[in-house]
Chains A and B, each alone.
Chain A
Amino acid sequence: KQEVTQIPAALSVPEGENLVLNCSFTDSAIYNLQWFRQDPGKGLTSLLLIQSSQREQTSGRLNASLDKSSGRSTLYIAASQPGDSATYLCAVENSNSGYALNFGKGTSLLVTP
């Protein structure tokens, strides 16, 4: 069974810092890996999707990398802002279990002014 782990569970940084969130998974047979953002009391918003054949994806100040062989992904946030405060979830779609997503428990990020 695919296990997805996110480290750290919580992170607090001052505004302007660059930061890295980590995600690891145990089964490298994946179709893709996705990063989501969840604001308190809200649903999930997709940030980046990396196909298994890709190494990274970028969107604005966000950059996500994927190393499938080692079972790792990182989400890099440049020049963090208070509006980035949210929970960031990593999810993996396995290639042997249909179209379901396996989620990590998330990293709760607080960016202080």
Chain B
Amino acid sequence: DAGVIQSPRHEVTEMGQEVTLRCKPISGHDYLFWYRQTMMRGLELLIYFNNNVPIDDSGMPEDRFSAKMPNASFSTLKIQPSEPRDSAVYFCASRPGGHETQYFGPGTRLLVL
């Protein structure tokens, strides 16, 4: 298996633009997680899905952030409009089910100018 796949790996955009981050989880995994990592706050959970259904989105910073999982093999995290404070590394992770380990993608480094 190729592992969790994220795209793009790097994104530079200007304030006010829409940003879409993409994730393909490992096949057969029931759970998908979106995290954000910054120097100040470390790794924070934004939202997670179980069988394509959003379960907990309490970590989503504000209405500018939205996430979807239209099928078991694809998820998006969208920021509209983007702001400089959204600059961070965004990770997607998946896991088979239950209380098992999570498998992380390589991350998307986002810079909003």
Contact = CB atoms under 8 A, between A and B. Distances in A.
9 contacts: A31-B99, A34-B102, A44-B104, A98-B56, A99-B33, A100-B45, A100-B48, A101-B43, A105-B42
A42 B42 contact: no
B97 to A, nearest CB: 9
Interface residues of A, number: 25
Interface of B: 4, 31, 33, 42-45, 48, 50, 55-56, 59, 91, 93, 95, 99-107, 109
B42 A46 contact: no
State the main secondary structure of chain B at its contact with A.
Answer: strand
Contacts, number: 54
Contacts of A89: 43
B20 to A, nearest CB: 19
B104 A103 contact: no
Interface in A39-68: 41-46, 49, 51
